[in-house]
């Protein structure tokens, strides 16, 4: 049995009119850390409309999906939900895309979604979405803080720190992108 890639924690937190997407930088192969400074959160600007995306899973697969999402956004400017649904439909029905192993968190600052290869476009409860191996830890931590005084970025950073302390496939080297709706 071959080694498998593990890792990544991505969180999206919406609070106070802004959304923050944060991701760790660790890439692991089996029990070995291959890289600690990967950028798994990206800002796209198709047609002048900014969208922030975070990905978990295979990097090459995620980049393929980000390119497809960018094309969908260019075809439907300013309509993140429609572009996300179109991507999810393609991902579920296209034989090539079906083999891709990744998940995405996407936001335009007013909408926040998780997109999966099962055809899901999920709008999270409480304005918090998290994916990846440490996603449940980050989600639980952020849920505990969301009603407190901290802003979205502080919550995302603290939640990622907690996930990094618990999940061996997550580190504290963060990429953080903030966007307002």
pLDDT, tens digit, 9 for 90 and up, residues 126-164: 999 999 999 999 999 999 999 999 999 999 999 999 999
Residue 17: phi and psi, rounded to 5, are 80, 10
Contact status, residue 80 vs residue 123, Cβ threshold 8 Å: no
Angle at 88 between CA 84 and CA 93, to 5 degrees: 150
Q: Is the pLDDT of residue 5 over 60?
A: no
8's tokens: 């990544």
HSE-CB at 108 with a 13 A cutoff on CA atoms is 19
Helical (H) or strand (E) element with 142: helix 135-145
Residues with a catalytic annotation lie at 8
R_g over Cα of the chain = 15
Domain ranges across the chain: 5-169
CATH 3.60.20.10 fits 5-169, yes or no: yes
pLDDT, tens digit, 9 for 90 and up, residues 66-117: 999 999 999 999 999 999 999 998 888 877 677 777 889 999 999 999 998 8
Query: Cα(32)–Cα(38) distance, rounded to whole angstroms?
Result: 15
């Amino acid at each position: 049995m071959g080694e498998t890639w593990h890792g990544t924690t991505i969180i999206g937190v919406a609070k106070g009119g802004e959304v923050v997407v944060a991701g760790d930088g660790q890439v692991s192969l089996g029990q070995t850390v291959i890289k600690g400074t990967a950028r798994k959160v990206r800002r796209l600007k198709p047609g002048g409309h900014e969208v922030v995306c975070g990905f978990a899973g295979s990097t090459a697969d995620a980049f393929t999906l980000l390119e497809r999402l960018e094309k969908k956004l260019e075809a439907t400017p300013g309509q993140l939900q429609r572009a996300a649904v179109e991507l999810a439909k393609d991902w579920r029905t296209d034989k090539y895309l079906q083999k891709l192993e990744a998940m995405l968190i996407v936001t335009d600052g007013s909408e926040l979604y998780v997109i999966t290869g099962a055809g899901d476009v999920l709008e999270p409860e409480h304005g918090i979405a998290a994916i990846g191996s440490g996603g449940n830890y980050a989600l639980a931590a952020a849920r505990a803080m969301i009603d407190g005084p901290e802003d979205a970025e502080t919550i995302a950073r603290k939640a990622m720190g907690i996930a990094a302390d618990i999940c061996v496939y997550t580190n504290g080297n963060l990429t953080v992108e903030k966007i307002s709706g």
